[in-house]
Amino acid sequence: MKHGIDYSLYLCTDRRLMTSATIEESVEAALKGGTTVIQLREKDCSSKEFYELGLRVKKITAAYHVPLIINDRVDIALAVHADGVHVGQGDLPCKVVREIVGPDMLIGVSAATLSEAVQAEKDGADYLGVGAMYATNTKTDTRPVSMEELLKIRAAVNIPIVVIGGINRNTLGNFKGTGVDGLAVVSAIVAQPDPEAAARELLRLWKA
Amino acid sequence: MKHGIDYSLYLCTDRRLMTSATIEESVEAALKGGTTVIQLREKDCSSKEFYELGLRVKKITAAYHVPLIINDRVDIALAVHADGVHVGQGDLPCKVVREIVGPDMLIGVSAATLSEAVQAEKDGADYLGVGAMYATNTKTDTRPVSMEELLKIRAAVNIPIVVIGGINRNTLGNFKGTGVDGLAVVSAIVAQPDPEAAARELLRLWKA
């Protein structure tokens, strides 16, 4: 699963913003619409709840042959046999995560600067989430990344890059021709009245 | 480190209750007073902060040849090379934790009933934290455990038991002769004006 991943449309879940009744429904709608990677992000539940949710979501992503990536919690990623784990700059360092998970699990790292990006690749990251590209209500603790910085990062690292933060049908066109591998979105799918249709439309616009 | 552990005086840290300026000072004072096990419990910091704190505390506990146990976060326990991890009934299941950490890391499990205790031993726990024995302000989500239930648990399992919840110099005498291996405390050490003296006195009273 680790190689040959299609990063075109990468969804981060958010139960606070979703229009679906459950995370499982939100994820399945996104997958029906063609979403190519699912990242499960939970900040306010117990470890047991995260684990049990992870097991249920893993069954769904596996049925669609799409990788499941767990945000922050390396132990939950191992416990549910996720395909990967994604860490931000405030999470466990990538190098330490690699020691824990071994060579086969995907590690994604959030990077907002060239130096964070280069360090992450050096420390064994398999892909980067670069952003926030635009102001967003989903995460308020992020710095904006300029297009210039994104292009510097793209030129400096060889691993896949998804852009994140304010990516939607109106902004995605700005990333065509930049060499990034895909779009990471939250509200552009989960907060829409029809998440499946929203995912399909994002993918169509991105590939057009 | 896994075998031959002295569970006599088991401290769970709590930064909200501590009289010391830092967790490191709180832990070192407890160790100077003879505390035999340290459990680091953090619920409101980032993974990176927990990791960095864990590394600093590990240096201190190692200098005193006392095991360091991380609460809940199996990934942090692995990242800081802690001696063990402690899971409650709302954390990752013991059986899953054992699969992740392998045979050598200590696993402690919180148990409030005979069935939870028996299951934990069956699932590979190395010791039990049984409680809350008394009402306590430290944790408000716990059920009280009767002395009768504690004795049933002691008779049913072979692994070491520490009692927790409202254990202090006034209540510890109730556990002499019950066959439990030690006392787990929070405020009876960290919330005292002189944590080192408090630890020393608890140990003296328990061994008397």
Domain-embedded: residue A3: no
- How many structural domains comprise chain B? 1
Instruction: B107-116: list long-range contacts, CB under 8 Å, 24+ apart.
Output: B108/B39, B108/B69, B108/B84, B110/B86, B110/B164, B111/B153, B112/B142, B112/B143, B112/B145, B112/B149, B113/B145, B113/B149, B114/B149, B114/B152, B114/B153, B114/B156, B116/B89
Question: Would the CB atoms of B75 and A100 count as touching at under 8 Å?
Answer: yes
Residues above pLDDT 70, as percent of chain A: 96
Cα(B58)–Cα(B60) distance, integer angstroms:
5
Cα(B136)–Cα(B143) distance, integer angstroms:
10
- Sequence-ordered list of residues with C-beta below 8 angstroms from that of B102, at least 6 positions apart, any chain: none
pLDDT in tens, A155-177: 999 999 999 999 999 999 999 99
Domain-embedded: residue B4: no
Over residues A127-131, mean pLDDT:
97
Best residue of B41, B44, B46, B47 to probe chain A, by most A CBs closer than 10 Å = B47
pLDDT in tens, A48-98: 999 999 999 999 999 999 999 999 999 999 999 999 999 999 999 999 999
Over residues A127-150, mean pLDDT:
86
Residue B77 has pLDDT above 90, yes or no: yes
Residue B148 has pLDDT above 80, yes or no: yes
Cα(B82)–Cα(B69) distance, integer angstroms:
6
Q: Which of B15, B32, B95, B139 is catalytic?
A: B139
Domain-embedded: residue B1: no
Burial status of residue B115 (CB atoms within 10 A of its CB: 0-12, 13-18, 19 or more): exposed
Q: Which of B41, B58, B154, B200 is catalytic?
A: B41
Domain-embedded: residue B3: no
Cα(A24)–Cα(B49) distance, integer angstroms:
31
Q: What one-character DSSP code corresponds to residue B82? A: -
Over residues B34-61, mean pLDDT:
97
Residue B95 has pLDDT above 60, yes or no: yes
ipTM: 0.94
Per the annotation, the verdict on A139 as an active-site residue is: yes
Residue B138 has pLDDT above 90, yes or no: no
Give the confidence band of B136 by pLDDT, cuts at 50, 70, 90.
confident
Give the confidence band of B5 by pLDDT, cuts at 50, 70, 90.
very high
Per the annotation, the verdict on B110 as an active-site residue is: yes
Structure tokens at B6: 């002295």
Over residues B14-32, mean pLDDT:
97
Q: What one-character DSSP code corresponds to residue B174? A: G
Residue A34 has pLDDT above 80, yes or no: yes
pLDDT in tens, A181-207: 999 999 999 999 999 999 999 999 999
Helices and strands (H and E) in chain B: how many: 8, 8
CATH number at residue B89: 3.20.20.70
Domain containing B20 equals 9-207
Structure tokens at B206: 């328990």
CA distances from A3 to A9, A12, B8, B62, B94 (A): 16, 20, 50, 41, 32
Best residue of A41, A78, A110, A119 to probe chain B, by most B CBs closer than 10 Å = A78
Residue B143 has pLDDT above 70, yes or no: no
pLDDT in tens, A37-46: 999 999 899 9
- Residue B2: what pLDDT? 72
Give the confidence band of B3 by pLDDT, cuts at 50, 70, 90.
confident
Amino acid found at B107: I
Structure tokens at B174: 């109730």
Cα(A154)–Cα(A160) distance, integer angstroms:
9
Q: Mean pLDDT, chain B, as a whole number? A: 96
- Residue B142: what pLDDT? 64
Domain-embedded: residue A31: yes
Q: Mean pLDDT, chain A, as a whole number? A: 96
Residues above pLDDT 70, as percent of chain B: 96
Domain-embedded: residue A48: yes
Domain-embedded: residue A2: no
Nearest partner of A40 among A22, A59, A27, judged by Cα: A27
Amino acid found at B164: I
- In chain A, what residues touch B72 (CB-CB under 8 Å)? 47
Residue indicated by tokens 């049984």: B130
pLDDT in tens, B154-182: 999 999 999 999 999 999 999 999 999 99
- Residue B140: what pLDDT? 64
Contact (CB, 8 A) for B8 and B181? yes
- Residue A140: what pLDDT? 65
Q: Enumerate chain A positions whose Cβ falls within 8 A of a Cβ in B.
A: 46-49, 51, 72-76, 78-79, 87, 89-93, 96, 99-100
Least Cα separation, residue B118 to chain A (angstroms): 19
Over residues B51-78, mean pLDDT:
98
A3: left (phi over 0), alpha (psi -120 to 50) or beta: beta
Domain-embedded: residue A4: no
- Residue A3: what pLDDT? 73
Question: Would the CB atoms of B79 and A100 count as touching at under 8 Å?
Answer: yes
